[in-house]
Structure 1
């Protein structure tokens, strides 16, 4: 057996840099702020940090509209600050991952400014330009019915050159043409630039969006759509996403990453059904190491549903495919909001005891929930474009609270988004002092993962339970552990298999526990 890679054993921690730690009082988090908090992350017990985009950007979509892939936005610091952060992480045994945004650039990127300057510019074909369709009444119409993920047509008219360009997101985020070999070469050069500087891997933004159908046919209508749903859901994105050619590009990225030592990791953001998700491991050549598995974010919080989901995912993995799990991120409601504060503790135990690589979203370790954002302080273009549909992402991107000082110690200035109301008690410093806090639970779970390889790289085996209790075994050789999770607000008596009846409680979400009796909202690890 080969030794598991660091990204198989470890836990990834996502930092949203605007909201993690401000070092200069401008109300926006930055790279020096992240560096100042590294020892806190070491104390928690994580292994790698993934930071959302820090590249130069007009911030139409808060960094996901990149104007220069090989520099740092002044709001976050300098290239030297990033080099220092890489070195500081490595000195502490931490890995550092960047957020790579290859599907689209900013409309202020020099490539796009050249592309839209004239039809015969050498970079015209670096983006997706199409002639209009003229309807029966002689009206100019977009080339097809594709809809932006942020609402409205995905085509923007350019008066100067008389064509539309395609944008899967904001009009300020034109999509690159990944069928153009020059684009592929340029973006591989970007990856090489950062790998050469010591970056340990990348989370690849919207990987499944990168290639579109060559003929741009209409997307079929979604028969399940209702006006309460997002505008993008009016059609099924059959022709605008998940095209076969994307797999060759992912394989190119993997070949590049595999040339570097120590091992680098590629993580793909892919919102697709499980059977499609598996393709991104690579059916022929290897592709991304970890196609993000978002099922825990979207699934009903019921024991039987989750048991079936986990088993089906494990069964679907291709040979050599390593599982991964995500409970929260910068786009979706926080776990404490989705399942409630009591079940958020059980959810943390689930995330950190399943087989595979977990990704932990900043603030979840102290139980942060979604924050109500006053209308005048809304920043997210998705909420501004489709208000009232619950699509806004500002509530999950609010500042981290480190201590009981003003603004939770995040900034000495005015924070770009409001801090959660209970920051004086819900903060890292306070919870580090408490023996049964959410932070302490995460710390103890991460420590237990290190002591018991069964919890990180061991086998996962389902255990017959009930519709209230999710139960499974983790096994590595002779090391056998039982995980029991009560997903209800009522006490439960677990039906333990014979081999587990003599085990003791290694960790409970309630601090102590009795294997014969699961209290309400209690998770327990036996060993």
Structure 2
């Protein structure tokens, strides 16, 4: 099948970003060009031909800005400079140019809810209460309890644990940080701060040629008046989950309208990270074309399946049903219906554990097949498709027996430290925490990219100690080199699906979505229908390690179906067309198929 190429300006009457496939790159872990153990910008440039060969049209580069790296670059000390181990501004100029030479586009992370506490703006803000930039961040006086003990202004829990308030002894006030204490929140109520952010973080890079932004924590900029306490859900701690309190505040539409006006001048795209937004009407208000706020958002329905209700790690592995996955997919796909809204399809990113380990089966027997099933599923959903580095080769979580010292993420470390503080040496309780981390930690997405089976997987030199240990699964066949030559690999299934996605864009990218056989506990099935031709594609996915039957669909005549794709190589099974009816109706463990029904 010849590969279709997306027109990177306009596809018919559609904006360029609707039919694009976007590949996310985590710079520290992608490719180390100078053998210092840390991935870098020249390393990304070296791999552009590989990325393009996948059928990808856009790369998204995670933060490469100057940063103390408390939160892996999401604590930015200078929006207009590059973190030196990653390279220079000239390296970024080269990357942007080389992306465009290939007819591709590039977007960057836009992290503007907060800066680093080392940013010059915050250094001025905290220097005195009378400094002109004092109001650029959110400062509040202490409260005092009945005993006269100083307390933070409210009970909000930080996304990384503990209070969102940090006491500053110099000026004797608290400042707000929804994430690490080293990540103070910008006060968007301050016009001067907001305009400075737009100029430094957005316009400076749009002028350099970037084509848009993935916008971090896009719905947190407008805080609720009075910063009220969150409802108490966990009586064991004074700090409560407040996401539903501080997200989607009263001035969010105003701020996003300002940002959209800037992006529109450059024909630049926006995709916002939109947590804690359960109301579909509010999401549509952000991504409606008429509203002119954001092009699309990441809803977290699918990736949040199985996480803890009170906190992320307050759960056990595989604490979900297939029904939960079905419901999550239905909610995100429902944005594309009788509206002018747009949606996204994704199941991995830098903040999520590997999808095969969470939703498939990462055992040697089933990891390739279940990885290909997940690829077929998410490449068949409507909206703009996002793939995270290593997802295309079926990378899996770190091994169970790796010690806690191999976990580097601030969220993981804080979680384990909190467990130690709460449970001491209670081995059962600590094992529960370790199990949750091994299943859900962000660290699993941050192990280096696996290019070959050699020592360090050719991410860096063989005699170099990488910043993070390379997953030993690279030696077990999960690497680019081995998979390129294997027609039955996860990598080549992804390539085929991206071709299919372009050939049948009316059904797979723009089509209406209908879940079928909803109550089936093992098989996820849905129909995608072209709005223009009425043709349909049925996708079926067996989420179990046992045989399952195809759904019985009265509305579709299976005898008229054309098999477009399956995830089982011919060496494992006869061609589906050659089977008798009883064989063809049986799905093998973790099998997936896509059928075309022409109208």
TM-score category by the smaller chain? over 0.9
1:37 aligns with 2:52: no
Cα distance in 2 for partners of 1:232, 1:442 equals 46
Aligned partner of 1:352 among 372, 376, 379:
379
Cα distance in 1 for partners of 2:414, 2:542 equals 40
SS of corresponding position for 2:86 = coil
SS of corresponding position for 2:560 = coil
Partner of 2:66: 56
Aligned ranges for residues 235-384 of structure 1 at < 5 Å?
A: 235-260=241-266, 263-272=267-276, 273-275=278-280, 276-281=282-287, 285-299=291-305, 304-317=323-336, 319-339=339-359, 340=361, 341=367, 342-372=369-399, 373-384=402-413
Cα distance in 2 for partners of 1:28, 1:199 equals 24
1:526 aligns with 2:592: no
1:487 shift after superposition = 2.0
> CA deviation digits over 1:350-396, x for unaligned, max 9?
11001111211111111111114533343211122220544542222
- Contact 1:296-1:325 at 8 Å conserved across structures: no
Distance 1:217 1:294, change over 3 A: closer
CA RMSD of aligned residues (A): 2.2
1:302 shift after superposition = 5.1
Partner of 2:470: 419
> CA deviation digits over 1:247-272, x for unaligned, max 9?
21111111111111xx3110101112
SS of corresponding position for 2:260 = helix
Partner of 2:311: none
Partner of 2:317: none
Cα distance in 1 for partners of 2:556, 2:397 equals 42
Partner of 2:429: none
Distance 1:218 1:226, change over 3 A: closer
Cα distance in 2 for partners of 1:106, 1:182 equals 18
Cα distance in 2 for partners of 1:316, 1:44 equals 28
1:490 aligns with 2:546: yes
Aligned partner of 2:529 among 470, 475, 490:
475
1:410 aligns with 2:459: yes
Partner of 1:141: 151
1:399 aligns with 2:414: no
Query: Could you tell which deviates more after superposition, 111-120 or 421-430?
Result: 421-430
Distance 1:2 1:233, change over 3 A: farther
Partner of 1:65: 75
Query: Could you tell which deviates more after superposition, 509-518 or 376-385?
Result: 509-518
- Contact 1:293-1:326 at 8 Å conserved across structures: no
Distance 1:320 1:64, change over 3 A: same
Aligned partner of 2:206 among 174, 190, 195:
195
Unaligned 5+ segments in structure 1 are none
> CA deviation digits over 1:265-292, x for unaligned, max 9?
1010111225243332259731111111
> CA deviation digits over 1:3-37, x for unaligned, max 9?
22221111111111100000111111000001111
1:345 shift after superposition = 2.1
- Contact 2:334-2:513 at 8 Å conserved across structures: no
Cα distance in 2 for partners of 1:284, 1:43 equals 35
Cα distance in 2 for partners of 1:471, 1:409 equals 39
Give the alignment's TM-score, normalised by structure 2: 0.82
- Contact 1:473-1:481 at 8 Å conserved across structures: yes
Partner of 1:85: 95
> CA deviation digits over 1:427-457, x for unaligned, max 9?
0010010010111111111111122223443
1:463 shift after superposition = 5.6
Partner of 1:454: 506
Report how many residues are paired: 520
Distance 1:503 1:233, change over 3 A: farther
Partner of 1:385: 414
1:428 aligns with 2:484: no
- Contact 1:104-1:176 at 8 Å conserved across structures: yes
Distance 1:473 1:217, change over 3 A: closer
> CA deviation digits over 1:449-474, x for unaligned, max 9?
12222344332242632503322233
Aligned partner of 2:119 among 109, 114, 117:
109
Unaligned 5+ segments in structure 2 are 1-10, 307-319, 362-366, 420-432, 577-583
